Amino acid sequence: MKPLWAISGRFAGWRSDNNLLYDANGDHVGYFRGNIAYSSNGEYVSEIYRDDWIGKNMMVVRPVGTVSTSYVGKAIAPRVDRVGLAIAGWEDPDF
């Protein structure tokens, strides 16, 4: 499990080894196709920015993903927030 921080610096969640996306509470909220994250119903929610940052790139239009199975959440410990990044055109993820 790889911890992820939102562009604002808040701890956002985790990317699992099998490319599932979990929020900071350990709830399954989506999946990855490459570095693009989609909700279980196929909506674009965010993408990886650098190694462990995640956000929504407002400068591009992403294709719709596929509907995916929802998974049970995981018991995980949250991480501390970081200082955010000031990146034009990027916002925090939609989860």
3-state secondary structure the chain: CEEEEECCCCEEEEECCCCEEEECCCCEEEEEECCEEECCCCCEEEEEECCCEEEEECCCCCCCCCCCCCCCCCCCCCCCCCCCCCCCCEECCCC
Query: Kind of pairing, strands 53-57 and 2-6?
Result: parallel
pLDDT in tens, 10-62: 999 999 988 999 999 999 999 999 999 999 889 999 999 989 999 999 988 77
Number of domains observed in the structure of the chain: 1
What pLDDT does residue 5 have? 97
pLDDT at 91 over 90: yes
Predicted TM-score of the model (pTM): 0.83
Going by pLDDT thresholds of 50, 70 and 90, the confidence category of residue 3 is very high
- What per-residue confidence (pLDDT) applies to 55? 96
Domain of residue 35 covers 2-91
